[in-house]
Chains A and B, each alone.
Chain A
C-alpha cells in the first residue's frame, strides 16, 4: 500500500500536466476559430487598400512614361514643359499620398493580427492593457464595419505584468460576443480605468441581453445559444480561466434583456505570486 503511494502521486501529476496542456491547446484552438470567423472582415479591410495600391502603381508607371516623353519632346523643341505635365505631376503626388495611407492601413491590421498569432510562448511581461485592447478592437472592427458603432473611453493605466496574447484573446471573445448579441445595428462601448490596485476593463453592448434563467450558466464550458458553426460555447469559459487562474483577476457581467450587457474584467496591477 505505502509502496504504491508515490506512483499514485506521479500519476496524478501526469494527469494534471496533461490537463494543463489540453487546456492550452483548447485556448489556442478556440482562438484560431474566432480569428477565422473574423477573417472575412479582415480580408475586406486589406483588399480595399491593396486594390488602391495596385491601381496606383499602374497609373504611376504609365504617367511617368507619358511625363518623360512630354518632357523629352519639349526639351528637344526648346519649349517650356507642357501644362499637362504639371497636371500629371499633381496626380502622382496625390497617388503617393493615397499609397501611404493604404500601406498604413494594411500594416496596422497585420500588426494587430501578429499580436494574436505570435508564437506559442505565452509569457508574462509588462504591458499596457489599452494597447492590447486596441489590437483586439482593430480586428473586431473589421467585422463590425458599419453595423456597429464603437466608442472607447480609455483611462490612463500603469503597465501590468500579464500574458498579453491571452488577454488579447479574452478581449476579442468579449467583443465578438458583443457583436453577435446585436441583431442589426448597435453600439459597443469599451472602457478602461484604474480602480484600487486593479485595471478594470468593460465591454458594453446594446444587444439582446442575457435572460435571467441563463445567467448562471454562461461561463460553463459548452453553454451556447448560438447555432453550430457560430458558437462553441467555450469563449467565456476560457476567458474566465485566463482572467482568474492565469492572472488572479475576476470577470463578471450585468445584463438587462432588451437593453444590453456589460462585461467587466478586473486584472490586478501586481500579479499574485502563483501567476506566471
Chain B
C-alpha cells in the first residue's frame, strides 16, 4: 500500500473567482494537493499524466461542458470521483449526467463549504478503495499466473 502521496483534487471552472475561493478553502482545511484550471483541455492534459482522486467541474464552460469533461476524465481515470458543480437551475441535466458519466455527486452553486468537503472526503475514500481493490485484483492475477507457471513446470519436470 502506497500512501505517500496526499490526495489530489482537480477543480475546473471557467470562473477564476470560484477557483480562488475553493483553493483557499481546501488549502486552509486540508492537506490535499489542489490543481485548478479555467480551461477543461488543460485539466485533461494533467489527468493524462497525474493520478487524481476527485475531479470537480463546473457545468457551463466554453468549448467543453462539465459533463463532456467528466465523461472524458472517466476514460482516463475511472476510479476518480466525479463531481459536477453547477450554477444552472437545470437539475435535469445533472441527473442525466449521474447516469451517463457515472457522476459521484452533484453540488449546486452557491455551494456550502462544509457539505462540499464531506462530498470530497467521501470521494477520495472511494477512489482510494477502488484503486486498492484494483491493485489487489492485479496481485491476485499475478499470483494466479505464477501458480499456473509453477504448475506447468512441475508437470514438465515429471514428464
Q: CA of A272 to CA of B14 in the docked complex: distance in angstroms?
A: 48
Residues 9-46 of chain B, each 1 if its beta carbon lies under 8 Å from chain A, else 0: 00000110110111011011100000000000000000
Is residue A32 contacting chain B, with contact meaning CB distance below 8 A? no
Q: CA of A40 to CA of B91 in the docked complex: distance in angstroms?
A: 11
CB of A47 within 8 A of CB of B109, answer yes
CB of A51 within 8 A of CB of B60, answer no
CB of B24 within 8 A of CB of A44, answer no
CB of A58 within 8 A of CB of B17, answer no
Q: CA of A52 to CA of B28 in the docked complex: distance in angstroms?
A: 15
Q: CA of A50 to CA of B28 in the docked complex: distance in angstroms?
A: 20
- B24, B108, B110: the one contacting A94 at CB < 8 Å is B24
Is residue B89 contacting chain A, with contact meaning CB distance below 8 A? yes
Residues 40-84 of chain B, each 1 if its beta carbon lies under 8 Å from chain A, else 0: 000000000000000000001111000000000000000000000
Q: How far is the CB of A25 from chain B (nearest CB, A)?
A: 28
Is residue B113 contacting chain A, with contact meaning CB distance below 8 A? yes
Residues of chain A contacted by B4 (CB below 8 angstroms): none
Task: Write 6 A-B pairs (CB below 8 A) sorted by A numbering.
Answer: A44-B109, A48-B87, A51-B18, A54-B113, A59-B21, A95-B20
Binding site for A on B (CB under 8 A): 14-15, 17-18, 20-22, 24-25, 27-29, 60-63, 87-90, 108-113
Binding site for B on A (CB under 8 A): 39-40, 43-44, 47-52, 54-56, 58-59, 62-63, 66, 91, 94-95, 98, 101-102, 145-146
Interchain residue pairs A-B with the least CB separation, the first 3: A51-B110, A47-B87, A146-B62
